[in-house]
Structure 1
Amino acid sequence: MQLPEAQVAVLKTADADTDRPITELAEEADLKVETATGAALALAEEGLLSVTEREEATTTLTEEGREYVEQGLPELRLYEAALEAGADDEPVSLGQLLGEAGLDGPAVDIALANFARKGYGTVDSGEVSATADADPDADDERRALDALDAGETVEDTELLDQLESRGLIERQESTTRLVSVSDDGVTALMEGVEVAETVGQVSPELITSGEWRDVEFAEYNVEAEAEEPAHGREHILRQTANRVKDVLVGMGFKEMDGPHVDAQFWINDCLFMPQDHPARTHWDQFDLESPEEIQDLPDELVERVRSAHLEGVGEDSEGYHSPWEESVARSLDLRGHTTSLSMRHLSGFAKGDLEPPERYFSVEKVYRNDTLDPTHLLEFFQIEGWVLAEDLSARDLMGTFTEFYEQFGITDLDFKPHYNPYTEPSFELFGTHPETGEIVEVGNSGIFRAEVLEPLGVEADVMAWGLSLERLLMLMYGFEDIRDVHGTLCDLELLRDVEVVY
């Protein structure tokens, strides 16, 4: 019997008594895995080989998971520090325990989120009480991480789901093809198998020399399954962002842009956010070590903003009874919202003085020190917009939202009154999730206060908003977890197949 060279190599390498992985046969036969796979499938079609498939799941620790194996889970470190400090008898200050446990940054939120969930104690008004009879050695998550680190198998799927949701493990599924020689294959080998003098691929040399006319070409099974190539394509989030831009341009808006790293002056101070506001701490923002501050700020505007904070604007405004330091205003952060772009434009700093009516928008990335969950990310896209005109009202703002969201098939918006330091009146926007029926917050909005506009030199009204691009996507397509389209948990098949609806 004559067969192509690759088929002969695979047939002679395979065993009759043992199922062997195709990768092992390929290595032994000095073939590429895909070449050996094609040969094995062709031999199986002829009944000379038996090919079976086995699904395998592998679980590995992430970098964070390995860190917790070495240092301990944050909640366990907090519990151990609490016991040492006597929190099983009397409540102890949370700040004291965080320092003793060596917890800071995101690890603090992780520790607090799991401390009570696992029954290690309670946190109330900044004080921690520890459960005396809790058993950290019996912590299922801790034991599972240790087992996986040691190369052992963990069978509890719910436990693995929990570890995966915390980003401590990665699970992957793969298909292994196992090959063995059939009875007919054994017979063929006993009778003798030779390499057929066939050509499997046309080369430039065959064509230029004319030898292609005399050679015998190998047969191809055009009905055989082939791997579908995974080509690149525009991300659904980018598609939606472009659609948002098209809609807003169609509504008469111009696009604005600006720096991702900016002074707190533009990010917060111009918005009449007091410098001791909780949202301006490192718990909510990402600040920069180098460079430490911005140099280019308009002195007159800085003085007017400072005066608004300390003294207020007009007869009915008193400002804030709290300190205001220019050094704080000059410090640099990753922007927590794109309203910093609005401040730059409304002040005339970006493009010069503006005369009403004007409409501007941006669809840009912002950064917040949030806890990752199905509706929150550390960085996401914000749809910023504002209208500068005379005699604007909340009804104008609500009408703008109604027109905008109708372009995406969303007609069930709800509006809820809200407080912002920089707008009055203010309200939040909510939509109904198409799959769960839950009410989802999609944005915040309002009319800028005099304390914002007068220092900027703006005499007309300005209505403004910040909307979430990712949550718009959730309402459009029914995603229940924002991480379905972001990061390591995203569904690649979904990203390849879903198209933005126009």
Structure 2
Amino acid sequence: MQLPESQVAVLEAASADEATSVDALAAATDLPPETVTGAAFELEEEGLLAVSERVDETITLTDEGAGYADTQLPEVQLYQTALEAGADEQAAQMGQVIGQSGLEGPQVDIALSNYARKGYGAIDSGEITADPDADPGADAEANALEALPAAEDAPIDSVDVGSETLEQLERRGLAERRESTVREVTLTERGVTELMAGLETAETVGQVTPELITSGDWQDVEFAEYNVEADAERFEGGNVHILRQTAERVKDVLVGMGFQEMEGPHVDADFWINDCLFMPQDHPARTHWDRFALESPTHIDDLPDQLVEDVERAHREGVGADGEGYRSPWDEDFARALALRGHTTSLSARYLAGHEIGEIEPPARYFSVEKVYRNDTLDPTHLLEFFQIEGWVMAEDLSVRDLMGTFEEFYAQFGITDIEFKPHYNPYTEPSFELFGTHPTTGELVEIGNSGIFREEMLEPLGVECDVMAWGLALERLLMLMYGFEDIRDIHGTLCDLELLRNTEVTY
């Protein structure tokens, strides 16, 4: 019987008495495992070998997990520091406790996101408390890190760790589960018979070369069959993040609705971020607890003098015959303070004031899909930085119905048709309302945006004499409604699920 050289080698190395793995055959024949696999399948088709398969599941610690196994989980470290600060008796300042804990960079976010989840205490309004009855020694994730191997894969069945704990460690990127297909071969009776009768090696060609074509020899040689079922090495290539994919789709939809895109700085003066929006300077959202101020430089020099004067007048005295303003302190030095923008409405203020591209004549439509930064408490629907879909329309005689209709048309492009509205208060819009959508998995209403008609106290200082309706929508919340994500940290941040990001694509 004539067979290709690789098949002869595999057949001679196989046994009729016990199953032999592909890796063992590769070592015995000095052939690559993929070549052995291909030969085994071809011999199985000839009835000379029997091929069996099983899936082995193993788990091991990642480098980050191994590091915490040697030291402590960040949330445990934060809890112990909170106890030392007396947070079990009286709430302590969160910033002070974090500073004393020695946690840095991403570890701070990790500690904060897991602290309350595990019942170590609570974090609220910049203060932290510690539950004196919490027991770090009973922390299932910490104990699992000590039980799992760091340097080699261990069979999943041999690890004495609960499945829920393993899944949580995987989500946090502290452990990695691997599945591998193990193939084993056994000689059949026919295979033994053919071996005893003797085998001949058939000369075959594995690929077409320029020499074979130019010489004409390709017409006479025997080509080896190509096995599409043979194992191949897996490569994980780069991919556009699902948030960026969704952002690009949002841009396409808004451009299709007649909007133009705005651009502007991530770091801006409080004047553009809040003062131009008729946001009083003593508003709680403008304290150091809710904003990220810059250490250097601290202030901006370049502001339009007349606009600063007009905005200050609106704050102090109001606009129009019945306007009263806030009658509260207004400090130009505070208005010039630099901070990371808490919303992209700062871009709207810049454009409406004619500061970016000159005076804009109605009708006009503008939007942006950019990052904003807020000092929020981390939870399944809040992050310290996220994408905001900003937009506004300038035209005569706009109404709330126009605004609602715009949202219905926009969200319908993403298959969302159950938008609900609730009246709301904003310092810079009147009337105002929030938008809600139904989560496809939990059935709960999720807040997805805020909107309204800009107030005269905001528009008049900017020199705008007609109506402007505006909104700020959350890109991550849109993604939750589209794909059923329950925790935005699964797709954005240090705890994101890489497999989910690799396999999920935005559909049109």
2:180 equivalent to 1:175: yes
Aligned residues: 493
Map 1:433-472; keep pairs closer than 5 Å.
433-472=439-478
1:84 equivalent in structure 2: 84
Contact kept in structure 2, 1:57 and 1:171, CA below 8 Å: no
Q: Which amino acid aligns with 1:428?
A: E
2:129 equivalent in structure 1: 128
Q: Which amino acid aligns with 2:42?
A: A
CA deviation string 1:292-347 (max 9, x = no partner)? 66665434434544555566656410254365525x735253x4432232122111
Task: Give secondary structure in 2 for the equivalent of 1:491.
Answer: helix
1:344 equivalent in structure 2: 350
Task: Give secondary structure in 1 for the equivalent of 2:504.
Answer: helix
Partners of 2:300 and 2:22 lie apart in 1 by 61
**Structure number with higher relative contact order (C-alpha < 8 Å, ≥ 6 residues apart):** 2
Partners of 2:422 and 2:288 lie apart in 1 by 29
Change (3 A) 1:225 1:279: farther
Partners of 1:235 and 1:111 lie apart in 2 by 25
Partners of 2:376 and 2:60 lie apart in 1 by 26
Task: Give secondary structure in 2 for the equivalent of 1:146.
Answer: helix
Partners of 1:417 and 1:29 lie apart in 2 by 75
Q: Which amino acid aligns with 2:56?
A: E
Contact kept in structure 2, 1:10 and 1:36, CA below 8 Å: yes
- Normalised by the length of structure 1, the TM-score is 0.81
Task: Give secondary structure in 2 for the equivalent of 1:161.
Answer: helix
2:110 equivalent to 1:101: no
Q: Which amino acid aligns with 2:262?
A: M
Contact kept in structure 2, 1:85 and 1:92, CA below 8 Å: no
Partners of 1:288 and 1:19 lie apart in 2 by 67
1:410 equivalent in structure 2: 416
Map 1:60-459; keep pairs closer than 5 Å.
60-62=60-62, 64-86=64-86, 90-91=89-90, 93-95=92-94, 96-103=96-103, 107=107, 110-111=110-111, 114-115=114-115, 117-121=117-121, 126=127, 128-131=129-132, 134-148=134-148, 150=150, 153-165=159-171, 167-184=172-189, 185-220=191-226, 240-273=246-279, 279=285, 296-305=302-311, 308=314, 315-318=323-326, 320-321=328-329, 323-325=331-333, 329-331=336-338, 333=340, 335-368=341-374, 374-377=380-383, 379-459=385-465
CA deviation string 1:162-197 (max 9, x = no partner)? 3334x1424344232222332444554444444311
CA deviation string 1:384-419 (max 9, x = no partner)? 210123343333322322333344443322111223
Task: Give secondary structure in 2 for the equivalent of 1:402.
Answer: helix
CA deviation string 1:245-270 (max 9, x = no partner)? 45434443333333445444433443
RMSD of equivalent CA atoms: 3.9
CA deviation string 1:332-375 (max 9, x = no partner)? 53x44322321221111111011222221223344555566544
Change (3 A) 1:458 1:225: same
Partners of 1:108 and 1:302 lie apart in 2 by 38
Q: Which amino acid aligns with 2:184?
A: V
Change (3 A) 1:17 1:147: farther
2:34 equivalent in structure 1: 34
The counterpart of 1:491, out of the listed 482, 497, 500, is 500
Partners of 1:22 and 1:468 lie apart in 2 by 51
Choose 339-348 or 179-188, whichever is displaced more.
Answer: 179-188
Change (3 A) 1:322 1:266: closer
Partners of 1:218 and 1:127 lie apart in 2 by 69
Partners of 2:31 and 2:268 lie apart in 1 by 56
Change (3 A) 1:52 1:111: same
CA deviation string 1:427-462 (max 9, x = no partner)? 110122334321121111112234432332223222
Q: Which amino acid aligns with 2:336?
A: A
- Normalised by the length of structure 2, the TM-score is 0.80
- % identity of equivalent residues: 65
Choose 365-374 or 168-177, whichever is displaced more.
Answer: 365-374
Change (3 A) 1:241 1:57: same
Partners of 2:163 and 2:264 lie apart in 1 by 46
Q: Which amino acid aligns with 1:434?
A: P
Partners of 1:370 and 1:38 lie apart in 2 by 56
1:22 equivalent in structure 2: 22
**C-alpha deviation, 1:129, in angstroms:** 4.8
Contact kept in structure 1, 2:74 and 2:107, CA below 8 Å: yes
Change (3 A) 1:145 1:124: same
Task: Give secondary structure in 1 for the equivalent of 2:79.
Answer: helix
**C-alpha deviation, 1:157, in angstroms:** 0.5
2:37 equivalent to 1:51: no
Contact kept in structure 1, 2:15 and 2:187, CA below 8 Å: no
**C-alpha deviation, 1:139, in angstroms:** 1.9
